[in-house]
Amino acid sequence: MKRQAILTHIEQFKAKQPVVGLTNISDRERLFRYDVMFSFLASGDPLESINSHRRLFEKYGFKLTDATHLSDLIPLILAEELLKIKAEIGEKTKVHIIFDGASFDGECFCLMFRLVRKWVIHQE
């Protein structure tokens, strides 16, 4: 998603609910915090480990808030991912979702789905 679109979504999100980790900072830092949070969610790393990386991020001139405040971004990132998936597969496409049990809730972050377009199976 383009940077300006992300900033627009962040502003709309902030208007609906207060987000401590995004107030009183520049747009550049908002994008940085969004990217950090997105990366940690995509990698499946525990959010608490963001606090361990604080020194590295701040060494290069970025302020980073606590993981608790950054977790306020999860609903925003989820909404953007759902929009991306809807645009990718379309509203009326039927998909098959595979979830192969988990020993604990933390493993539920990744789901795989398959769809068929023009007799070709696509897997996401």
The one-letter code for the residue type at 85 is I
Tens of pLDDT, residues 39-79: 888 877 888 888 888 888 888 777 778 788 888 888 888 88
CA distance 10 to 83: 14
Whole-prediction pTM: 0.67
Phi and psi for 119 in degrees, rounded to 5?
Answer: 65, 20
Strand partners, 122: 115
